[in-house]
């Protein structure tokens, strides 16, 4: 199976952490740290 067809465990963890941040601060802009993590997740795909 192609590695790109399934999200990695690390990406799942990043998504989970981002979801917690989004729940904790609904409607707020991402913090610089969260934005950097999200960018890293996007470029790792």
User: What are the tens digits of pLDDT across the range 14-40?
Assistant: 888 888 776 655 556 667 777 787 788
Does 1 reside within a domain?
Answer: no
**Token digits of residue 14:** 């990043």
Does 12 reside within a domain?
Answer: yes
pTM: 0.35
Does 3 reside within a domain?
Answer: no
| Count of the separate structural domains present in the chain | 1
pLDDT for res 37:
79
Does 44 reside within a domain?
Answer: yes
Q: Residues 3-42, buried b or exposed e (16+ Cβ, 10 A)?
A: eeeeeeeeeeebeeebeebeeeeeeeeeeeebeebbeebe
Domain ranges, residue 39: 8-22+31-45
**Token digits of residue 30:** 């991402």
Query: Has residue 1 got a pLDDT over 60?
Result: no
């Amino acid at each position: 199976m192609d590695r790109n067809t399934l999200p990695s465990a690390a990406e799942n963890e990043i998504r989970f952490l981002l979801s917690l941040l989004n729940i904790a601060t609904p409607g707020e802009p991402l913090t610089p740290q969260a934005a950097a993590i999200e960018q890293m997740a996007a470029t790792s795909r």
